[in-house]
Chains A and B, each alone.
Chain A
Amino acid sequence: SQKIEQNSEALNIQEGKTATLTCNYTNYSPAYLQWYRQDPGRGPVFLLLIRENEKEKRKERLKVTFDTTLKQSLFHITASQPADSATYLCALRTSGGSYIPTFGRGTSLIVHP
């Protein structure tokens, strides 16, 4: 069966360090992968999209990598700040057919001052 796996344990890091979150998937051939941020009581907010033929994407302090061989995406936040504390969701959309993204459960990031 198709699975998207994100670490269910919260990631605790110190301010200024790089946070790295992982998204693994099985039995998917994703056309692209997205990362969203969700704050408590709010809807998810789109951050970055990376396509299957792209290895890396950057936006300000954010970097996403996509390894279709390992079936994994890594999401990095450099120089992390307490304001980065949130839950981060990855979402996949497969090639062809449905335009409906499927979401992982998300990983909570806590950045300590």
Chain B
Amino acid sequence: GAGVSQSPSNKVTEKGKDVELRCDPISGHTALYWYRQSLGQGLEFLIYFQGNSAPDKSGLPSDRFSAERTGGSVSTLTIQRTQQEDSAVYLCASSLAGTGNTIYFGEGSWLTVV
């Protein structure tokens, strides 16, 4: 597709369940980012993938959060044993190379934990 695609666009889950959020970056983009945005808050960095390098996981808030990127393309963010404080918009972005110069965001996955 032309842009970064995320799914699902909306997810309501019960506390304690696991969720998976998917990101399909722009074709040819080697860098992929996950950010989180809570209501009225700024973008909080979660994890960064660049090519075949080890991901930068320094933003993951706890060991319940993990992400992988298969084949240098699609990425999945997994949240285990969800908590209410995990409710937020999870934004994926990609860029052409690992420079961070211009990153292109998807529309986000809105997660609500009830």
**Chain A contact residues, CB within 8 Å of chain B:** 32, 34, 41-46, 49, 89, 93, 98-106
In the complex, 11 of the A-B residue pairs with CB atoms within 8 angstroms, ordered by the A residue number, are A42-B108, A43-B4, A43-B91, A43-B93, A43-B106, A46-B102, A46-B104, A49-B102, A98-B48, A99-B48, A105-B42
Known contacts A44-B43, A106-B42: A100-B56 contact under CB 8 Å: yes
Q: Which of B50, B56, B108 contacts A43 (CB 8 A)?
A: B108
In the complex, the answer to whether B105 meets A44 with C-beta atoms within 8 Å is: yes
In the complex, the answer to whether A43 meets B107 with C-beta atoms within 8 Å is: yes
Give the one of B4, B31, B35 with max A CB within 10 A.
B35
Q: Residues of A contacting B101 with CB < 8 Å?
A: 32, 34, 49, 93
B18, chain A: closest CB distance, angstroms: 24
Minimal Cβ-Cβ distance residue in A for B99: A99
Size of the B side of the interface (Cβ < 8 Å), in residues, is 24
In the complex, the answer to whether A34 meets B105 with C-beta atoms within 8 Å is: no
In the complex, the 10 A-B pairs of residues with the closest C-beta atoms, listed nearest first: A43-B105, A105-B42, A99-B100, A103-B43, A93-B100, A99-B98, A43-B107, A46-B102, A44-B105, A101-B100
In the complex, the answer to whether A102 meets B45 with C-beta atoms within 8 Å is: yes
In Å, the complex CA distance between A97 and B42 comes to 22
Q: Which of A41, A43, A45, A105 contacts B41 (CB 8 A)?
A: A105
A8, chain B: closest CB distance, angstroms: 9
Since A93-B100, A100-B33, A103-B43 are in contact, a sample of 8 more A-B pairs with Cβ atoms closer than 8 Å, ordered by chain A residue number, is A43-B105, A44-B91, A46-B104, A99-B31, A99-B50, A100-B45, A101-B100, A103-B42
